[in-house]
Amino acid sequence: MNPILIIPCILGGMTGTFLFSLFKVGLVGVASPGSILSIMMMSAMGDHIKILIAMLAAAVTFVTAAPLVKKAANNDSDLQNAAKEMESLKGKKSRISSLFGAKNEKFDFTSVKSIAYACDAGLGSSAMGATVLQKKLNKAGLSNIKVFHIAINDLPAKCEVIIAHKSLMDRVKEKQPDSYHVEIIDYLNAPEYDELVNKIKNIQNL
């Protein structure tokens, strides 16, 4: 939810109230539910056309909300991070996250043979996460795919798949923008591990 969208609602309501006052029209009773049919049934005799015209105030809400919605769609990092935090707490993938990462969805997993697990130093956290992911790959029958841990600054010129903590992902994408990026929060129990393993397994077993 974007709180700023209350502004178009206010503008639309103000426009509607102004038009109703200008035309001196209204309803003779409560229109419930608030559909056009119930509003027409509750309209005073002779006021139907003017009330319909006044209801076009909804267009004001639409016109003013459209650019705000578009702007929010282009900058959904806060919502994406919230979804990932929820997944980390629940320990499983959320349907909400399917709304993100359209670029990643086009990635071809058929030739994946290695996965880079990156962190600042390429030691503690990335080594721990790489071990967890390698076990999941082995269990899924994908032992031919090797997971290696590495410092972000030492990433090879080209990596197929790169996993990193969300706080480091901007640096990873800056260095390797064309790789498949997996952003995690929990090194040990990230639901993204299982999702990645399933994607690779489903493609390579075709």
- The answer to pTM > 0.95 is no
Helix (H, G, I), strand (E, B) or coil at 84: helix
The active-site residue out of 51, 57, 112, 119 is: 119
Sequence-separated contacts (24+) of 177-180 with Cβ below 8 Å: 179/116, 180/104, 180/107, 180/109
Q: What percent of the chain has pLDDT over 90?
A: 11
Q: Is the pLDDT of residue 160 over 80?
A: yes
CA 67, CA 61: separation in Å to the nearest integer?
11
Chain mean pLDDT for the chain:
81
The answer to whether 119 is a known catalytic residue is yes
CATH number of 77-204: 3.40.50.2300
Q: What is the pLDDT of residues 5-25, one digit of tens each?
A: 888 889 988 998 898 889 988
Q: What is the pLDDT of residues 92-140, one digit of tens each?
A: 555 555 445 444 557 778 888 899 998 888 778 888 889 999 999 999 8
